[in-house]
Amino acid sequence: MVSVNDIAMWRGESSSRMWTDLFWACAGAFLLTFAFPRPALGLLAWVGLVPLIVISLTSAPIRAFRVGYLTGVLHFLALLRWVIGTIHQYGGVPWIAGVAALLLLCLYLGAYLGVFAWGLSRWRRGGFFSLLFAPVLWVALEYLRTMALTGFPWGLLGYTQQNSLALIQVVDVTGVYGLSFLVVLVNTALALCVVPLADRESGRCGWGAPVLGMAVAAACVGAAFVYGTHRMAQVDEAQGRATTLKVGVVQGNIDQAVKWDGAYQFATLETYRRLSAEALKQKPDLVVWPETATPFYYLNPVDGVLTREVNRGLAQGDADWILGAPAAERAGQGWRYFNRAYAVTSEGAVIGSYDKVHLVPFGEYIPFQDLLFFVKRLVASAGNFSAGTKGDTIKGWDWQVGVQICFESIFPELSVASVRSGAGLLVNLTNDAWFGRSGAPFQHFQMARFRAVETRRALARSANTGISGFVDPVGRVTGATQLYEEAWRVASLPVMSLTSLYVRFGDLFAWVCAGLALLMGPVIGGVRRRNP
User: What proportions of the chain, in percent to the nearest 5, are helix, strand and coil?
Assistant: 55, 15, 30
What is the rounded radius of gyration, in angstroms, for the C-alpha atoms of the chain?
A: 25
Burial of 11 (0-12, 13-18, 19+ CB in 10 A): exposed
- Alpha-carbon 395 to chain mean position: 27
State how far the Cα of 355 lies from the Cα of 387, in Å rounded to an integer.
7
Comparing CA positions, the residue from 72, 77, 137 lying closest to residue 111 is 72
On the 0-12 / 13-18 / 19+ scale of CB atoms within 10 A, 398 is exposed
Residue ranges of E strands in 389-530: 400-405, 423-430, 459-463, 469-471, 477-478, 487-495
Determine if the peptide bond prior to 39 is cis (ω within 30°). Answer: yes
List the one residue out of 289, 291, 407 whose CA is nearest residue 344: 289
Task: Give the Cβ contact number of residue 305 at 10 Å.
Answer: 10
Among left, alpha and beta (phi > 0; psi -120 to 50; other), residue 506 is left
Find the catalytic residue in 106, 142, 259, 356: 356
Question: In angstroms, rounded to a whole number, what is the distance separating the alpha carbons of residues 24 and 407?
Answer: 32
φ, ψ at 98 (rounded to 5°) = -65, -40
Residue environment code for 59-97, b if the CB has 16+ CB neighbours within 10 A, otherwise e: bebebbbbbbbbbbbbbbbbbbebbbbbbbebbebeeeb
Catalytic choice (106, 220, 406, 513): 406
Residues with Cβ < 8 Å from 492, sequence gap 6 or more?
A: 244, 245, 246, 247
Please count the other Cβ atoms lying within 10 Å of the Cβ belonging to residue 495: 19
Task: Order across the sheet with 286-288: list the strands.
Answer: 350-355, 334-344, 320-331, 286-288, 243-251, 487-495
Task: Verify whether residue 237 is a known catalytic residue.
Answer: no
Q: What is the 3-class SS of 24-43, one letter each residue?
A: HHHHHHHHHHHCCCCCCCHH
**406 catalytic residue (yes or no):** yes
User: In a 3-state reduction of DSSP, which class is residue 257?
Assistant: coil
C-alpha to C-alpha distances, 129 to 134, 213, 452, 496, nearest whole angstrom: 9, 10, 35, 42
Of the candidates 291, 364, 408, 413, the residue annotated as catalytic is 291
Identity of the amino acid at 181? F
Q: Are strands 400-405 and 423-430 parallel, antiparallel or unpaired?
A: parallel
356 carries an active-site annotation: yes
Active-site residues, by number, are 291, 356, 406
